[in-house]
Structures are given as structure tokens and as C-alpha cells.
């Protein structure tokens, strides 16, 4: 059974880089597509982007200039980096298996951007 778990700092300072990792168990990161989605408080879900088993990525144009998603096959993990964060980036961040639709989600991790 595939399981995903997000990890990373719960507090990030404005203008810094938000970095999260998703650890995958029950499946190899070298198969499937893997995504990041976020949900700001009281707002709808927002797709951030995805990466495939070859390392090819596709990002939301609204975030593309600040986002990097990468794979670490040695640890069976994939990561999200979001640069130059502001309070608007405060959200519950989810990692998921899938690209166009998400078959399995992690429990999510709350990231707050504040000084």
C-alpha cells in the first residue's frame, strides 16, 4: 500500500525559501508521477506542480518562477522548494501520487510564513 508523508519546517520567514520533502513508502519513486498541492486557510485547493519518474516537471504558471520540484531516488523522496515566500504562501501543503488527478495523498503539513 502506497503511503506518503510530508515533512519540513512549520514556520518560514518572509522572503526565504520554503522547503518540504515527501517520503514515499510502498512504491518506487521511479514509477508514477508525483505532485504538490496546497490549501491556504479558508480557500480552495491550489495545484503547485508535478514531477515524473524521469524528472520532467510541470508547474502552475502562477508559481512557476518560484517553484522547483525534484526527485531523490536514493531516499525514495521528492521535494518542493518555493522561493521568496510571503504571507500568501501560508497553507496546508500536500504531496500526492498522480499528475492530472491525485490517487493518493499525504496527510498534509501546515506551513506558516511569518517573521
Partner 1 sequence: EIVLTQSPGTLSLSPGERATLSCRASQSVSSSYLTWYQQSPGQAPRLLIFGASSRATGIPDRFRGSGSGTDFTLTISRLEPEDFVVYYCQQYGSSPITFGQGTRLEIK
The nearest distance, CB 92 to partner 1, in angstroms, is: 9
Name the E strands within the chain: 3-7, 11-12, 18-25, 33-39, 46-52, 57-59, 67-72, 77-82, 91-98, 102-105, 109-113
Nearer to partner 1 among residue 62 and residue 73 (C-beta): 62
For position 94 contacting partner 1 by CB under 8 A, the verdict is yes
Q: Kind of pairing, strands 33-39 and 18-25?
A: unpaired
* Interface mask toward partner 1 for 51-70; x: CB under 8 A: -------x-xxx--------
**Residue 91 binds partner 1 (CB under 8 A):** no
Residues that bind partner 1 (CB under 8 A): 44-47, 58, 60-62, 94, 96, 100-108
Amino acid at each position: 500500500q502506497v503511503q506518503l508523508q510530508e515533512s519540513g519546517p512549520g514556520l518560514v520567514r518572509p522572503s526565504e525559501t520554503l522547503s518540504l520533502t515527501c517520503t514515499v513508502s510502498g512504491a518506487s519513486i521511479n514509477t508514477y508521477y508525483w505532485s504538490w498541492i496546497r490549501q491556504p486557510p479558508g480557500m480552495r485547493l491550489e495545484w503547485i506542480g508535478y514531477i515524473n519518474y524521469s524528472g520532467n516537471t510541470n508547474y502552475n504558471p502562477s508559481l512557476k518562477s518560484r517553484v522547483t520540484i525534484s526527485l531523490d531516488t536514493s531516499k525514495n523522496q521528492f521535494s518542493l522548494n518555493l522561493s521568496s515566500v510571503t504571507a500568501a504562501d501560508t497553507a496546508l501543503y500536500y504531496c500526492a501520487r498522480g499528475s492530472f488527478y491525485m490517487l493518493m495523498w499525504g496527510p498534509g503539513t501546515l506551513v506558516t510564513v511569518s517573521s
